[in-house]
């Protein structure tokens, strides 16, 4: 071997530990069809292009995100240089359709990339993912003009956007949001308070959900409207950056809307269509969030494995003690299963089918195992794991939010039981 010091120093991780990820992808339907024939109708094979995307994201995450993550976590500073770099490499905004300057990637391809970036740092990855969440309502419900205007600009410069639905008094109960939008001539005037908005202080524009029907008895499916709001509209007041347990470099804020005037051209679909749009976005964004949780769990597994092969106790490396190797085995089980779950959910929606059942299963499971694997990794590291000089305590702090945002673990179970019972009754 020759002296490739630069590369060896920069890349800290063995490429060999992880095998290629799996799952067919509908964006090359002809290729998939022939793959299906060859593999007997079911395939875990990635296309060449998917492998290359994954390789690119993996290289970027391990060489650039991993080394920078600890200092962003300590300072809480927004990782704009990393985000800009991801944008330059085409790792962001993958869902934006080609006619708006994007790459029109399917959810599966996006998930492959998301998992790799999350391996590097879920704080960075969440900041990037929030763009997809904010854009999704526009992608699924925007008019050609709205798409061109708001998605187009994201491909011309590294801009951020945000999904503005949660309020201090309503998270899971989306129908309980109180932000009001009142029609006045050709505008809507919006007043209310949003909370826990990722990219709240950095967004160029928001997808906003507000109540347009004042009648408290109006059904949720008709009472809300989705808007696109330019962040510099007078009356939009982002609050302070919140100090959270984990994913600390991600920018999370409360946002006050004080008589904000939105032109009617910025309504998505029409008045009253908002709830369905906001919920519809989740079927496409839950698989990537699950993928992010898997990325974190994979990181936990790799860090714990590396440590277990180095640390010695009672005369041998701790990986040779079954108590420890069993912990690693269970972590591996969870990671592999969670990965297959998000791949199935992503594949289903790319095939054009409703994937709510699979998306909720993937997100619920991945969120839970990410927390378990992170805690297990700390355990494998022992006393060192509790210390901030080692990478795993950050994983524990970062993992918790995966059981909360994008639909809490409890809400996911509600959805899964409803879907399951619904299917059963048919």
Partner 1 sequence: MSGRVLVGVKRVIDYAVKIRVKPDHTGVVTDGVKHSMNPFCEIAVEEAVKLKEKKLIKEVVAVSCGPQQVQETIRTALAMGADRGIHVEVSGKDYETLGPLQVSKILAALAKKEQADLIILGKQAIDDDCNQTGQMTAALLDWPQGTFASEVTLDADKLKVVREIDGGLETIKIKLPAVVTADLRLNTPRYATLPNIMKAKKKKIANVKPADLGVDVSSRLEVLKVDEPPQRQAGVKVETVDDLVGKLKEAGRI
* Residues with catalytic function: 406
Selected binder of partner 1 within 31, 43, 45, 56 (CB under 8 A):
56
Number of residues in contact with partner 1 under rule CB under 8 A? 25
| Per CB under 8 A, 173 contacts partner 1 | no
Window of 9-17, 219-227, 269-277, 348-356 that interacts with partner 1 by CB under 8 A = 9-17
Q: Which is nearer to partner 1, 15 or 337 (CB)?
A: 15
CB of 360 to partner 1, least distance (A): 29
**190, 179 Cβ separation under 8 angstroms:** yes
| Per CB under 8 A, 157 contacts partner 1 | no
CB of 57 to partner 1, least distance (A): 9
Token couple for 193? 């308070």
170, β-bridge pairs: 167
Is 205 assigned to a binding site?
no
Token couple for 253? 């804020």
| Per CB under 8 A, 6 contacts partner 1 | yes
Query: ∠ CA(221), CA(288), CA(286), 5° rounding?
Result: 25
Token couple for 98? 């080609």
Window of 89-97, 130-138, 298-306, 334-342 that interacts with partner 1 by CB under 8 A = 89-97
Is 170 assigned to a binding site?
yes
| Per CB under 8 A, 52 contacts partner 1 | yes
CB atoms < 10 A from the CB of 233, how many? 16
| Interacting positions 12-31 with partner 1 (CB under 8 A) | 13-16
Q: Which is nearer to partner 1, 16 or 234 (CB)?
A: 16
Token couple for 303? 């860090």
Measured between alpha carbons, how far is 298 from 308 in angstroms, rounded to an integer? 15
Selected binder of partner 1 within 11, 31, 317, 404 (CB under 8 A):
11
Tell me the torsion sign for CA atoms 313, 317, 323, 328.
positive
369, β-bridge pairs: none
| Per CB under 8 A, 89 contacts partner 1 | yes
Is 104 assigned to a binding site?
no
Q: Which is nearer to partner 1, 52 or 259 (CB)?
A: 52
| Coil, helix or strand at residue 267 | strand
| Per CB under 8 A, 97 contacts partner 1 | no
Measured between alpha carbons, how far is 173 from 361 in angstroms, rounded to an integer? 20
Selected binder of partner 1 within 21, 32, 53, 302 (CB under 8 A):
53
What is the DSSP pairing of strand 316-317 with strand 312-313?
A: antiparallel
| Interacting positions 179-208 with partner 1 (CB under 8 A) | none
Residue with tokens 């041998």: 316
Buried b (16+ CB within 10 A) or exposed e, 9-47: eebebeeeeeeebebbbbbbeebbeebeeeeeeebebbb
Query: ∠ CA(358), CA(362), CA(366), 5° rounding?
Result: 175
Selected binder of partner 1 within 22, 34, 49, 237 (CB under 8 A):
49
CB of 27 to partner 1, least distance (A): 11
Residues in contact with partner 1 by CB under 8 A are 1-4, 6-8, 11, 13-16, 48-49, 52-53, 56, 59-60, 88-91, 94, 103
């Amino acid at each position: 071997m020759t002296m490739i010091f630069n590369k060896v120093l920069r890349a800290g991780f063995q490429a060999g530990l992880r095998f290629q990820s799996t799952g067919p992808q509908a964006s090359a339907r002809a290729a998939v069809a022939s793959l299906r024939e060859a593999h007997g109708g079911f395939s875990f094979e990635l296309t060449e292009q998917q492998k290359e995307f994954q390789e690119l994201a993996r290289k970027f995450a391990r060489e650039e995100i991993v080394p920078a993550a600890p200092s962003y976590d300590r300072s809480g500073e927004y990782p704009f240089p990393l985000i800009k770099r991801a944008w330059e490499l085409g790792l962001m905004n993958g869902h934006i359709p080609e006619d708006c300057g994007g790459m029109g990637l399917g959810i599966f391809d996006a998930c492959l990339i998301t998992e790799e970036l999350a391996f590097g740092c879920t704080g960075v990855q969440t900041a990037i993912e929030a763009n997809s969440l904010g854009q999704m309502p526009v992608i699924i419900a925007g008019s050609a003009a709205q798409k061109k205007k708001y998605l187009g600009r994201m491909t011309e410069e590294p801009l951020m956007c945000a999904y503005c639905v949660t309020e201090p008094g309503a998270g899971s109960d989306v129908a309980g949001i109180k932000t009001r939008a009142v029609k006045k001539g050709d505008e809507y005037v919006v007043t209310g308070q949003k909370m826990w908005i990722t990219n709240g202080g950095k967004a160029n524009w928001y997808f906003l959900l507000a109540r347009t029907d004042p009648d408290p008895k109006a059904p949720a499916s008709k009472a809300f409207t989705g808007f696109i709001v330019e962040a510099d509209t007078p009356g939009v007041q982002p609050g302070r950056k919140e100090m959270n347990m984990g994913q600390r470099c991600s920018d999370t804020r409360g946002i006050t809307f004080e008589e904000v005037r939105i032109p009617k051209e910025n309504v998505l679909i029409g008045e009253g269509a908002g709830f369905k749009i906001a919920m519809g976005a989740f079927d496409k964004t839950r698989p990537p969030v699950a993928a992010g949780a898997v990325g974190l769990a994979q990181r936990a597994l790799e860090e714990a494995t590396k440590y277990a092969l180095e640390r010695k106790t009672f005369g041998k490396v701790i990986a040779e003690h079954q108590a420890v190797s069993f912990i690693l085995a269970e972590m591996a089980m969870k990671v592999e299963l969670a990965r297959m779950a998000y791949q199935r959910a992503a594949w289903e929606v790319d095939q054009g089918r409703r994937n709510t059942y699979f998306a909720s299963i993937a997100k619920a499971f991945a969120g839970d195992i990410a927390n378990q694997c992170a805690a297990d990794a700390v355990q494998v590291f022992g006393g060192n794991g509790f210390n901030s000089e080692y990478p795993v305590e950050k994983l524990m702090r970062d993992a918790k939010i995966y059981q909360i945002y994008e639909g809490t673990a409890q809400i996911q179970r509600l959805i899964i039981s409803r879907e399951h019972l619904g299917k059963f009754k048919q």
